[in-house]
C-alpha cells in the first residue's frame, strides 16, 4: 500500500517534468526526440534495475559504470580481432559476471562494507580495461546483431527500450514471485533475523551483485554498440550515480528491505527526461550536472512526501 | 475513586499528608490502528508522588497509553490534563517540557557515546558564551549517577556497560530535566534479582523526591513489592483499578484475564520415560569466553529447562547447538549423529530450530508480513516450478496461526504491529512450519503477559506430547518449574545443578543459579532433596 503510494508520487514527479519539458521546448514532444529519449533512458534504466536489486538487499554497487566500460572495451577488441558474434557477446558478459562475483565475494564472504568493496572494484575494473587496451579507445565495426542492439527498432520502438522493458519484467517476476526475490527483501529488511531463520545470506548477497553486474554488462554492450567503439576511460563515468539517483527517486530505501522495480523504471525516466531537456535547451554540460543535482534533490523530497501527496489525493477522491 | 489509607507501608510515608494531589488525568482516551481498536474510552489518574502500575495482557493497550503520554502517538479522542489544566501532548518535546519522561523497553541510548554525553543528549547545558558547558554537565552527571548508585565512571561508553547500568543511565537521563512523571515499560525484564532490588531502591528514592511513576511490568511480585496502586487494562479498556494494599494476587490476575487462570502445577507430571531415546547429546561443550565443560542429554518428548542469569552461558549453549557460535571444545550429537552445524540453515535442516532471545532484532523481520515471517525457514517447500505457491503458503500460515491462536487481522500485516505474545507465536509457527524436532527457545516468554505465557507453555507441552523435544532458557524459575520435565542450573558457564520434575525445589535451583555451589558443581548434579 505504502509502496503503491510512493510510486504514485514518483509518477507525479515524472508527469510534472514531462509537462514542464513540453512547455520549455517545442521540440520535446516530437517522435524523433521521444525515441531518442527512450533509447538513452534505457541504458541508465537497465543499470538502475540491477542497482535496485542490490540496494533492496541492503547493499550498494558503485562499480557499475566501470563494468560498462570494461565490457565495451572487451567487446570492441574482440570484434576488431574478428572473433565470431558469440564470442564478442558472451566473453564480455562473462567478464561482467566475474566482476559481480568479485563484488559479491568481497561483500558476502569477506565481509567488506558494500560501499568500500565496490569503491575499490570501481577503480580496479576501470583500471583493468585501461591496462587491457593500453589506455586507448578501440574503434570497432560491430556485426549487425550488436549494432541492432543500439540502433534497431521493433516496429518503431528502439531495441534498447524493448530490452529494458523485458529486463524490468523479468526482474519484477524474480523479485515478486521467486523465492530468491523474497529472500532479497528479507535480508535487506533484517539480515540478522534472516540469518537466524535459515536464509543463506551470503548466497543472496552474491546473487544480487552478480545480477547487477550482468545488467551493467548488457548496458555496456548497448553503449559500445551505439558509440561504435570501446572507451575504457570515458564510457560509463558517473553512471553509478545516475543509477542510484534513479533508484532513490523510485522510492527504494537506501537502508534496504523496501522498493520496487517499477519505482526504478520511473526513476530512470525522470533522470532521462531531465538530461534530454537540458540538451534540448542547450544547457552547458558543466551546468547540467549542477542543475541535475538540484532536480534530483527536489524529486527525492517529493518522493519522500509521497504519503502526504497520496493522502491528499485520497481525501479528494473520497470527498468527490 | 478509591480511597488511600494513610501509612499503609513505609514507602508511602514520605508523600505529603492528606489526600494527594492529582498530577495527571486522562479521560475518554481512544485510539485505533488499522484493523485494531487499541484503546477505547480509557480514563486514568496519576496522583502526585505515587507509583502506579499499569498492567494487562499483551495487546491490552499499555504501550499505546504510554506512547500517548510520551507525545509519540496522538489519541483519536479524549483529553489529557496536568494539574487540572488541559494540555495537548502533540510532540515528545512537549511531553518533556511538561515533565513527562518515558523509558522504553528498548533503551534509547547512543552506544558509542559516554554516560555523560548520553545523559545530556537533547538537553545540553550551555554557558553564557553559548558553548557547551561540559564542566557543569560532568559535575551534575557525577552527582546524578552517584545518587542512582552507579559505581562506574561517567566517561565510559554506553556499549561497555551492563544492561542494568544502561538502565540507570536512562533514568539519569530522565531526571536531568525536571521530571514529574516517569513512565517505565518493563524496566526489570533484563535485570537479575539483585539488580531489580537496587532498581526498586532507586524508584522509591525518586518517589520520595515527589516524582510520580508509571511502572509497566509482567511480574506480579514486583507490583506488590513496589507499587501503590494498580490500573488494569484489557482489550483496550480499563477494567479495574485498586490500591495494591487491598488486592490479592489472584484478584489481580483475574482482573487481567477476565477469567480464572493461574500458573499452578498442571497435570503433566508424568515425566519422560527414562529409557526414551536420547535426541541430543552435549559433551564437554566449552567456549573460550564462557562455557566450561557443559554436558547434558535431551530425550525425545522432554522439556528441559536451562536456569541461569544473564551471563550464565544459557544463551551461548543454544547458540552453539544452533551453529551460530563455534565451541572451542566438546561435541554435540543429534539422533546419535555428530551435529556440529556450521550455521542456522544446516541446523534447521538437521531438525533443530532456535527462537532467539531478542525476538525483535534476531527473531523477526518486523517490517515484513506474518506470512513472510512464518515461512522464512521453509520457503523452499512453497517454491513451485514457476513461482512461490502463494495460495498454499497463505493456507499453511492461516492454519498455523489458528492452531497457535495468533490474534491477527490478515496474514499480510507486518509482524511489528503484533503484540509481544503474538510475535512469539509467529516464531513458534515458523519453527513448526520448518518441521524441526528439537526446539531451542531462548526466553520465549520475555515481556509477555500471564495469559499469553500460559498459552505458550501449553503449546510447548503439546509439542513435547507429540514427540518434539524442547530446551527452554529462562531467568524466571517459576516458569521453568511450571513447564519443564527437568531443569539444569547454570552459573558463569558451568552446570551447577540438575533436578528432575519430581524433585523440583525452587530454593535449591535459585541457590545453584546464584552460584552458591559452584565450588563443587559435580557434587550437586542429581543431588536434589
Q: Which of A33-42, A151-160, B291-300, B308-317 shows the lowest per-residue confidence on average (mean pLDDT)? A: B308-317
Is residue B361 within 8 angstroms of chain A, CB to CB? yes
Neighbours of B104 (CB within 10 A): 17
Average of per-residue pLDDT across B242-268: 66
Is residue A200 within 8 angstroms of chain B, CB to CB? yes
Neighbours of B149 (CB within 10 A): 12
pLDDT recorded at residue B60 = 78
Which residue range(s) make up the domain with A284?
2-22+30-307
Q: Residues B418-435, buried b or exposed e (16+ Cβ, 10 A)?
A: bbbbbbbbbbbbbbbbbe
Q: Which residues of B touch A192 (CB under 8 A)?
A: 361-362
Interfacial A residues in 221-260 facing B (CB < 8 Å)? 257-258
Q: For A182, which of B356, B379, B434 is closest by C-beta distance?
A: B379
Q: Which of B171-175, B230-234, B375-379 has the highest mean pLDDT?
A: B375-379
Chain B residue with the nearest C-alpha to that of A185: B368
Is residue B387 within 8 angstroms of chain A, CB to CB? yes
Query: Which of B441 and B252 is assigned the larger pLDDT?
Result: B441
Are B386 and A177 an interchain contact pair (Cβ–Cβ within 8 Å)? yes
Q: For B344, which of A179, A185, A198 is closest by C-beta distance?
A: A198
Are A197 and B356 an interchain contact pair (Cβ–Cβ within 8 Å)? no
Pairing state of beta strands B438-442 and B469-474? Answer: parallel
Q: What is the DSSP letter of B415?
A: G
Closest-CA distance, B376 to chain A, in angstroms, reads: 6
Average of per-residue pLDDT across B304-312: 84
Confidence of residue A149 (pLDDT cuts 50, 70, 90): confident
Q: Which residues of A touch B370 (CB under 8 A)?
A: none
Q: pLDDT of B160-193, one tens digit each?
A: 888 888 888 988 888 888 889 999 988 887 777 7
The three cell numbers locating residue B491 = 552459573
Rounded Cα–Cα distance for residues A14 and A247 (Å)? 14
Tell me, yes or no, whether A320 lies in a domain.
no
Is residue A282 within 8 angstroms of chain B, CB to CB? no
Q: For B365, which of A173, A186, A200 is closest by C-beta distance?
A: A186
Rounded Cα–Cα distance for residues B249 and B264 (Å)? 13
Is residue A178 within 8 angstroms of chain B, CB to CB? yes
- In a 10 Å sphere around its CB, with 0-12 CB exposed, 13-18 middle and 19+ buried, how is residue B318 labelled? buried
Q: For B345, which of A186, A200, A257 is closest by C-beta distance?
A: A200
Size of interface A-B (CB pairs under 8 A): 70
Neighbours of A206 (CB within 10 A): 19
Check: pTM over 0.80? Answer yes or no.
no
Confidence of residue A116 (pLDDT cuts 50, 70, 90): very high
Confidence of residue A54 (pLDDT cuts 50, 70, 90): very high
Q: Which residues of A touch B358 (CB under 8 A)?
A: none
Interfacial B residues in 397-436 facing A (CB < 8 Å)? 430, 434
User: What is the CA B262 to chain-centroid distance, rounded?
Assistant: 19
Interface test with A, best of B323, B342, B345, B373 (most A CBs within 10 A): B345
Are B368 and A194 an interchain contact pair (Cβ–Cβ within 8 Å)? no
Is residue A199 within 8 angstroms of chain B, CB to CB? yes
Tell me, yes or no, whether A312 lies in a domain.
no
Average of per-residue pLDDT across B234-246: 87
Are A199 and B367 an interchain contact pair (Cβ–Cβ within 8 Å)? no
Rounded Cα–Cα distance for residues B347 and B471 (Å)? 15
Instruction: Spell out the SS3 assignment of chain A.
Output: CHHHHHHHHHHHHHHHHHHHHHHHCCCCCCHHHHHHHHHHHHHHHHHHHHHHHHHHCCCCCCCHHHHHHHHHHHHHHHHHCCCCHHHHHHHHHHHHHHHHHHHHHHHHHCCCCHHHHHHHHHHHHHHHHHHHCCCCCEECCCCHHHHHHHHCEECCEEHHHHHHHHHHHHHHHHHHHCHHHHHHHHHHHCHHHHHHCCCCHHHHHHHHHHHHHHHHHHHHHHHHHHHCEECCCCCCCCHHHHHHHHHHHCCCCCCCCCCCHHHHHHHHHHHHHHHHHHHHHCCCHHHHHHHHHHHHHHHHHHHHCHHHHHHHHHHHHHHC
DSSP B503-519: G--HHHHHHHHTTTTTT
Q: What is the DSSP letter of B437?
A: S
CA angle B441, B445, B449 (to 5 degrees): 165
Q: Is the pLDDT of residue B246 over 60?
A: yes
Rg (CA), chain B: 24
Q: For B362, which of A177, A189, A192 is closest by C-beta distance?
A: A192
DSSP B102-135: EE-SS----TTSBHHHHHTTTS--B-TTSSB-HH
Residues in chain B: 529
Q: pLDDT of B273-291, one tens digit each?
A: 667 889 999 999 999 878 9
Q: For B377, which of A192, A198, A258 is closest by C-beta distance?
A: A198
Tell me, yes or no, whether A18 lies in a domain.
yes
Closest-CA distance, A42 to chain B, in angstroms, reads: 27
- In a 10 Å sphere around its CB, with 0-12 CB exposed, 13-18 middle and 19+ buried, how is residue B53 labelled? buried
Q: Which residues of B touch A170 (CB under 8 A)?
A: none
Rounded Cα–Cα distance for residues B278 and B262 (Å)? 33
* Nearest alpha-carbon partner for B252 in B56, B439, B389: B56
Q: For B379, which of A177, A179, A193 is closest by C-beta distance?
A: A179
Are B377 and A257 an interchain contact pair (Cβ–Cβ within 8 Å)? no
Rounded Cα–Cα distance for residues B170 and B440 (Å)? 32
Are B367 and A258 an interchain contact pair (Cβ–Cβ within 8 Å)? yes
pLDDT recorded at residue B12 = 35
Are A196 and B356 an interchain contact pair (Cβ–Cβ within 8 Å)? yes
Q: What is the mean pLDDT of chain A?
A: 88
Confidence of residue B35 (pLDDT cuts 50, 70, 90): low
Is residue A149 within 8 angstroms of chain B, CB to CB? no
Are A179 and B365 an interchain contact pair (Cβ–Cβ within 8 Å)? no
What end-to-end distance do the CA atoms of chain A give, in Å?
A: 21
CATH level 2 (architecture), domain B263-351+436-529:
3-Layer(aba) Sandwich (3.40)
Rounded Cα–Cα distance for residues B429 and B414 (Å)? 15
Tell me, yes or no, whether A150 lies in a domain.
yes
**Which H or E run includes B458?**
helix B450-465
Q: Which residues of B touch A197 (CB under 8 A)?
A: 344, 365, 373, 376-377, 430
If one counts the domains in chain A, the total is 1
Neighbours of A215 (CB within 10 A): 28
Tell me which CATH homologous superfamily contains domain B1-99+179-262. Answer: P-loop containing nucleotide triphosphate hydrolases (3.40.50.300)
Are B345 and A198 an interchain contact pair (Cβ–Cβ within 8 Å)? yes
Are A192 and B345 an interchain contact pair (Cβ–Cβ within 8 Å)? no
Rounded Cα–Cα distance for residues B427 and B168 (Å)? 31
Q: Is the pLDDT of residue B481 over 90?
A: no
CA angle A291, A43, A35 (to 5 degrees): 85
Average of per-residue pLDDT across A43-67: 96
Q: Which residues of B touch A257 (CB under 8 A)?
A: 365, 367-368
Q: Which of B78-82, B306-310, B343-347 shows the lowest per-residue confidence on average (mean pLDDT)? A: B306-310
Is residue A194 within 8 angstroms of chain B, CB to CB? yes
Rounded Cα–Cα distance for residues B227 and B187 (Å)? 14
Q: pLDDT of B404-463, one tens digit each?
A: 888 888 999 999 988 888 999 999 999 999 999 999 999 998 877 777 788 888 889 888
pLDDT recorded at residue A305 = 52
The three cell numbers locating residue B143 = 552527582
Q: What is the mean pLDDT of chain B?
A: 84
pLDDT recorded at residue B14 = 42
Query: Which of A91 and B144 is assigned the larger pLDDT?
Result: A91
Neighbours of B239 (CB within 10 A): 14
Is residue A174 within 8 angstroms of chain B, CB to CB? no
Q: pLDDT of B108-130, one tens digit each?
A: 889 899 999 999 887 788 888 88
Q: pLDDT of A88-110, one tens digit each?
A: 999 999 999 999 999 999 999 99
Closest-CA distance, A298 to chain B, in angstroms, reads: 27
Q: Which of A1-15, A124-138, A167-181, B243-257 shows the lowest per-residue confidence on average (mean pLDDT)? A: A1-15
pLDDT recorded at residue A19 = 92
Are B363 and A193 an interchain contact pair (Cβ–Cβ within 8 Å)? yes
Rounded Cα–Cα distance for residues B245 and B225 (Å)? 10
Tell me, yes or no, whether A313 lies in a domain.
no
pLDDT recorded at residue B30 = 93
The ipTM estimated for the assembled molecules is 0.85
Confidence of residue A205 (pLDDT cuts 50, 70, 90): very high
CATH classification at residue A222: 1.10.3470
DSSP B157-182: BGGGS-HHHHHHHHHHHHHTS--SEE
Q: Is the pLDDT of residue A11 over 90?
A: no
Partners of B47 in the β-ladder: B22
The three cell numbers locating residue B19 = 489526600
Closest-CA distance, A179 to chain B, in angstroms, reads: 6
Average of per-residue pLDDT across A306-310: 49
Sequence spans of domains, chain B: 1-99+179-262, 110-177, 263-351+436-529, 366-430
Maximum CA extent, chain A: 68
Rounded Cα–Cα distance for residues B447 and B468 (Å)? 25
Q: Which of A187-196, A311-320, B4-13, B53-62 shows the lowest per-residue confidence on average (mean pLDDT)? A: B4-13
Amino acid at each position: 500500500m505504502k509502496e503503491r503510494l510512493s510510486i504514485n508520487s514518483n509518477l507525479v514527479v515524472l508527469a510534472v517534468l514531462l509537462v514542464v519539458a513540453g512547455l520549455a521546448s517545442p521540440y520535446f514532444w516530437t517522435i524523433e526526440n521521444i525515441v531518442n529519449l527512450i533509447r538513452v533512458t534505457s541504458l541508465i534504466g537497465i543499470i538502475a534495475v540491477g542497482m535496485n536489486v542490490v540496494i533492496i538487499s541492503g547493499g550498494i554497487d558503485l562499480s557499475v559504470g566501470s563494468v560498462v566500460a570494461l565490457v565495451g572495451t572487451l567487446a570492441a577488441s574482440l570484434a576488431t580481432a574478428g572473433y565470431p558474434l558469440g564470442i564478442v557477446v558472451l566473453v564480455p558478459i562473462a567478464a561482467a559476471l566475474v566482476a559481480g562475483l568479485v563484488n559479491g565475494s568481497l561483500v558476502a564472504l569477506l565481509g567488506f562494507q558494500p560501499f568500500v568493496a565496490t569503491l575499490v572494484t570501481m577503480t580496479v575494473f576501470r583500471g583493468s580495461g585501461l591496462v587491457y587496451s593500453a589506455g586507448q579507445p578501440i574503434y570497432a565495426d560491430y556485426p549487425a546483431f550488436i549494432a541492432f542492439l543500439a540502433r534497431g527498432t521493433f516496429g518503431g520502438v528502439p531495441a534498447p527500450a524493448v530490452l529494458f522493458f523485458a529486463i524490468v519484467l523479468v526482474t519484477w517476476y524474480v523479485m515478486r514471485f521467486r523465492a530468491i526475490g523474497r529472500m532479497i527483501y528479507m535480508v535487506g529488511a533484517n539480515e540478522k533475523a534472516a540469518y537466524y531463520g535459515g536464509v543463506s545470506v551470503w548466497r543472496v548477497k552474491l546473487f544480487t551483485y552478480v545480477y547487477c553486474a550482468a545488467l551493467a554488462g548488457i548496458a555496456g554492450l548497448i553503449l559500445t554498440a551505439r558509440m561504435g567503439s570501446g572507451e575504457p576511460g570515458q564510457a560509463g563515468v558517473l553512471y553509478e550515480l545516475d543509477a542510484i539517483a534513479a533508484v532513490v527517486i523510485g522510492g527504494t530505501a537506501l537502508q534496504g528491505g523496501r522498493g520496487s522495480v517499477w519505482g526504478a523504471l520511473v526513476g530512470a525516466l525522470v533522470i532521462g527526461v531531465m538530461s534530454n531537456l537540458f540538451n534540448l535547451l542547450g544547457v552547458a554540460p558543466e551546468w547540467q550536472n549542477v542543475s541535475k543535482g538540484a532536480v534530483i534533490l527536489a524529486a527525492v523530497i517529493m518522493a519522500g512526501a509521497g504519503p502526504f501527496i497520496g493522502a491528499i489525493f485520497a481525501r479528494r477522491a473520497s470527498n468527490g | 475513586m478509591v480511597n488511600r489509607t494513610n501509612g499503609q507501608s513505609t514507602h508511602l510515608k514520605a508523600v505529603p499528608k492528606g489526600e494527594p494531589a492529582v498530577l495527571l488525568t486522562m479521560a475518554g482516551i481512544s485510539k485505533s490502528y488499522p484493523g485494531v481498536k487499541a484503546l477505547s474510552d480509557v480514563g486514568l489518574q496519576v496522583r502526585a508522588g505515587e507509583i502506579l502500575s499499569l498492567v494487562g495482557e499483551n495487546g491490552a493497550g499499555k504501550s499505546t497509553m504510554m506512547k500517548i503520554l510520551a507525545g509519540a502517538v496522538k489519541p483519536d479522542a479524549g483529553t489529557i490534563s496536568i494539574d487540572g489544566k488541559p494540555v495537548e501532548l502533540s510532540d515528545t518535546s512537549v511531553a518533556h517540557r511538561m515533565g513527562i519522561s518515558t523509558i522504553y523497553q528498548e533503551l534509547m541510548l547512543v552506544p558509542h557515546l559516554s554516560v555523560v554525553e548520553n545523559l545530556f543528549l537533547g538537553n545540553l547545558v550551555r554557558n553564557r558564551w553559548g558553548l557547551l558547558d561540559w564542566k557543569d554537565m560532568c559535575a551534575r552527571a557525577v552527582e546524578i549517577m552517584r545518587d542512582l548508585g552507579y559505581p562506574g565512571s561517567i566517561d565510559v561508553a554506553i556499549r561497555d556497560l551492563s544492561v542494568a547500568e544502561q538502565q540507570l543511565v536512562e533514568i539519569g537521563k530522565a531526571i536531568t530535566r525536571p521530571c514529574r512523571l516517569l513512565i517505565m515499560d518493563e524496566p526489570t525484564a533484563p535485570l537479575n534479582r539483585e539488580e531489580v532490588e537496587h532498581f526498586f531502591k532507586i524508584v522509591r528514592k525518586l518517589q520520595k523526591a515527589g516524582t510520580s511513576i508509571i511502572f509497566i511490568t509482567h511480574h506480579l511480585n514486583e507490583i506488590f513489592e513496589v507499587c501503590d496502586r494498580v490500573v488494569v487494562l484489557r482489550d483496550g479498556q480499563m477494567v479495574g483499578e485498586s490500591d495494591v494494599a487491598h488486592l490479592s494476587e489472584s484478584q489481580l490476575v483475574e482482573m487481567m484475564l477476565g477469567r480464572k487462570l493461574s500458573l499452578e502445577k498442571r497435570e503433566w507430571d508424568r515425566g519422560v520415560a527414562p529409557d526414551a531415546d536420547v535426541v541430543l547429546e552435549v559433551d564437554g561443550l566449552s567456549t573460550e569466553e564462557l562455557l566450561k565443560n557443559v554436558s547434558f542429554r535431551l530425550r525425545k518428548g522432554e522439556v528441559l529447562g536451562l536456569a541461569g542469569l544473564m551471563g550464565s552461558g544459557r544463551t551461548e549453549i543454544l547458540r552453539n547447538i544452533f551453529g551460530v557460535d563455534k565451541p572451542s571444545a566438546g561435541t554435540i550429537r543429534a539422533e546419535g549423529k555428530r551435529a556440529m552445524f556450521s550455521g542456522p540453515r544446516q541446523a534447521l535442516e538437521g531438525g533443530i530450530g532456535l527462537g532467539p532471545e531478542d525476538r525483535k532484532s534476531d527473531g523477526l523481520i518486523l517490517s515484513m508480513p506474518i506470512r513472510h515471517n512464518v515461512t522464512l525457514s521453509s520457503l523452499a517447500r512453497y517454491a513451485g516450478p514457476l513461482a512461490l505457491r502463494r495460495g498454499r503458503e497463505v493456507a499453511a500460515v492461516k492454519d498455523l496461526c489458528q492452531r497457535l491462536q495468533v490474534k491477527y487481522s490478515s496474514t499480510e500485516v507486518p509482524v511489528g504491529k503484533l503484540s509481544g505474545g503474538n510475535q512469539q507465536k509467529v516464531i513458534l509457527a515458523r519453527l513448526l512450519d520448518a518441521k524441526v524436532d528439537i526446539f531451542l527457545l531462548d526466553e520465549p516468554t520475555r515481556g509477555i503477559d500471564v495469559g499469553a505465557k500460559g498459552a505458550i507453555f501449553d503449546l510447548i507441552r503439546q509439542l513435547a506430547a507429540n514427540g518434539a523435544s524442547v530446551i527452554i532458557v529462562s531467568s524466571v524459575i517459576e516458569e521453568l518449574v511450571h513447564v519443564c520435565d527437568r531443569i539444569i542450573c547454570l552459573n558463569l558457564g558451568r552446570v551447577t545443578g540438575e533436578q528432575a520434575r519430581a524433585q523440583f525445589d525452587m530454593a535449591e535451583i535459585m541457590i545453584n543459579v546464584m552460584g552458591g555451589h559452584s565450588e563443587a558443581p559435580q557434587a550437586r548434579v542429581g543431588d536434589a532433596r
